[in-house]
Amino acid sequence: MLFNDRYAAQAQGLLRIIAALLFIEHGTSKLFNFPVFPMPDLPPVGSIYWIGALLEAIGGVMVLLGILTRPVAFLLSGEMVVAYWMAHAPQSTFPANNGGDAAILFCFVFLFLAAAGPGAFALGERKPVVRTDDELA
């Protein structure tokens, strides 16, 4: 069995956990100013930015724990599309110049998790163990 096949579920779980931790940090910085966020003010309650921050904090925790990973990750992927086109793209065409490269990466990491599932270390969805013909012999 190849290394990447043998540890794919664990690598996928680690990707989910690290991405979620980084995502939670974006949400808490906008909601609680921790860690300190470079925006001058916290978003007004009920605004689209506040809703986005809630999605980042609460959705990030759900993805971190592996609870309802597929639907939550799909929702968060869509949030990142909206964030990119609303906040980043108007500043510049190039993601490296408009600060949107993280939004693009989050979008596709969450889209991957929505399609592939949470991987290892998840509290929610469990992927059944499938044995290959080589292992059965």
Higher pLDDT residue, 8 or 129? 8
Please state the domain extents for the chain: 8-123
Tokens of 125: 């969805």
With the C-alpha atoms ordered 114, 93, 56, 25, is the resulting torsion angle positive or negative? positive
Residue 129: pLDDT band (50, 70, 90) is low
- pTM of the predicted structure, to 2 decimals: 0.86
Digit-coded pLDDT (tens) for 26-80? 999 999 988 887 777 888 899 999 999 999 999 999 999 999 999 999 999 999 9
Residue 128 confidence (pLDDT) above 60: no
